[in-house]
């Protein structure tokens, strides 16, 4: 089946420690007709040499963009690649993971099925669960969603997606319509994958695959530095009120930036949800809490919703 141009966008920065394992897993994908596009963020180690050595293993020579000035973050590095891609289908890759052999094929097949049902002009995002492993590749948990208490259905509706991030970028597949609708990701985005999730939930469709297709390496130096999410851990950090408020404010600020970015393009229902969300910070204490409840701006479990109500 002809899928047009398929790209895997890989952001690197001093990635030599684990990059070889990722490239091995990409080079042995069952679907090989993809273009690996790499944006290297001023690496000082052997990252570029590893990429050059791996080149002959791919069906298409990897395209390496060597940045001369730092992007500032993984989010900005990915945003730069997304702004330039003209691919029909886009996958995002982290430099320290391992992809299972059917990762690309499975994503493309599901994407084509959805496009046949709801149209290629519809922005579509597909994402999936992952298998967390440590630096040595040993399994930490059978499910990243369980590890982080993620409910993927909450990413499919805009009001819950604004509060509960569900998408891990390296597990995402985007069609051309979603890439085009996303456009340039602004600096007000908390993370590129969360922003893409909001675009898909606002303008199109979000789907998810519960079968992990990635060994997701957690080694302490990850850009996102994920830690297990649970009520026990939350209670053990009960003194971190300032941190909790900070993350709530980031959510609210991101919603305001999102509304300003796409205001005139938004479907009426999505615009209404975002306007209600963006109005929360300027409301009084009681009104802020009521607006959260009335708008359905919530997480999937009681303890996180209670914490938000206390701290908003």
Running along the chain, 312 residues long, what does each successive block of 10 average in pLDDT? 95 96 98 98 96 97 94 94 97 98 98 98 98 96 97 98 98 98 96 98 98 93 55 53 87 98 98 98 95 96 91 90
pLDDT at 249: 95
Query: What's the sign of the alpha-carbon dihedral 300, 143, 202, 116?
Result: negative
- Could you tell me if 15 and 95 lie in one domain? yes
Can you list the alpha helix ranges (DSSP code H) found in the chain?
16-27, 47-54, 74-84, 103-118, 144-147, 158-161, 176-182, 192-203, 231-236, 241-262, 268-278, 285-294, 302-311
Q: Among 217, 243, 264, give the residue marking a domain's end.
A: 217
Beta carbons of 9 and 85 less than 8 angstroms apart: yes
Q: Do 35 and 175 belong together in one domain?
A: yes
Is residue 42 within 8 Å of 69, Cβ to Cβ? yes
CA distance 199 to 210: 21
Would you state the pLDDT for residue 240?
Answer: 62
109 alpha-carbon distance from chain centroid: 20
Determine, yes or no, domain membership for 193.
yes
Q: Which two tokens stand for residue 45?
A: 């180690």
Judge whether 225 lies within some domain: no
DSSP 178-246: HHHHH-SPPTT-S-HHHHHHHHHHHHSEEEEE-S--EEEE--S--SS------HHHHHHTTT-HHHHHH
Report residue 24 as tokens. Answer: 């091995």
Number of domains in the chain: 2
Question: Does any domain span residue 30?
Answer: yes
What single DSSP character describes residue 56? G
Among candidate residues 191, 217, 243, the one where a domain is terminated: 217
Query: CATH number, domain at 193?
Result: 3.90.550.10
201 and 238 inside one domain: no
The reply to whether 239 and 291 lie within a common domain is: yes
Asked whether residue 210 is assigned to any structural domain, the reply reads yes
**Enclosing domain of residue 118:** 6-217
**Do 89 and 16 sit in the same domain of this protein?**
yes
Does residue 134 lie in a domain region? yes
Same domain, yes or no: 69 and 137: yes
pLDDT of residue 1: 77
In-domain check, residue 223 = no
* 192-203 and 241-262 helices, crossing angle to 10°: 50
| 152, 265: one domain | no
Which of 217, 252, 268 is the last residue in one of the domains? 217
* Residues 184, 129 share a domain: yes
Q: Do 22 and 114 belong together in one domain? A: yes
What is the value of pTM for the model shown?
Answer: 0.93
Q: What is the pLDDT of residue 243?
A: 79
The verdict on 192 and 237 lying in the same domain is no
Distance CA 212, CA 202 (A): 26
**Residue 242 confidence (pLDDT):** 76
Clarify whether residues 184 and 285 are in a common domain.
no
Reduced to 3 states, what is the DSSP secondary structure of residue 20? helix
Angle between helices 285-294 and 302-311 (to 10 degrees): 150
Within this chain, do residues 240 and 204 fall inside the same structural domain, yes or no? no
Per-residue model confidence (pLDDT) at position 173:
98
Tell me if 28 is assigned to some domain: yes
Residue 226 domain-assigned?
Answer: no
């Amino acid at each position: 089946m002809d899928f047009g141009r398929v790209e895997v966008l890989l952001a690197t920065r001093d990635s030599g420690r684990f990059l070889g394992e990722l490239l091995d897993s990409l080079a042995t994908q069952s679907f090989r007709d993809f273009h690996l596009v790499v944006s290297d963020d001023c690496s000082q180690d052997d990252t570029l040499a590893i990429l050059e050595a791996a080149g002959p293993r791919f069906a298409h020579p990897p395209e390496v963009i060597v940045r001369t000035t730092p992007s500032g973050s993984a989010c900005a590095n990915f945003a730069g690649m997304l702004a330039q891609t003209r691919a029909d289908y886009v996958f995002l890759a982290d430099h320290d993971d391992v992809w299972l052999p059917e990762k690309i094929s499975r994503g493309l097949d599901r994407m084509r099925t959805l496009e046949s049902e709801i149209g290629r002009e519809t922005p579509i995002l597909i994402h999936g669960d992952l298998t967390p492993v440590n630096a040595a590749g040993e399994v930490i948990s059978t499910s990243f969603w369980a590890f982080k208490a993620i409910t993927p259905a909450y990413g499919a509706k805009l009001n819950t997606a604004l509060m509960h991030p569900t998408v891990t970028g390296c597990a995402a597949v985007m069609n051309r319509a979603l890439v085009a609708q996303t456009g340039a990701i602004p600096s007000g985005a908390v993370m590129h994958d969360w922003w893409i999730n909001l675009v898909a939930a606002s303008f199109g469709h979000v789907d998810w695959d519960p079968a992990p297709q990635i060994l997701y390496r957690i080694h302490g130096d990850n850009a996102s530095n994920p830690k297990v999410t649970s009520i026990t851990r939350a209670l053990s950090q009960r003194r971190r009120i300032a941190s909790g408020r900070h993350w709530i404010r980031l959510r609210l600020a991101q919603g305001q930036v999102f509304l300003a970015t796409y205001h005139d393009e938004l479907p009426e229902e999505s615009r209404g949800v975002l306007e209600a969300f963006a109005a929360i910070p300027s409301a009084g204490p009681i009104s802020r809490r009521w607006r959260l409840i009335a708008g359905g701006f919530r997480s999937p479990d009681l303890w996180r919703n209670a914490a938000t109500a206390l701290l908003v």
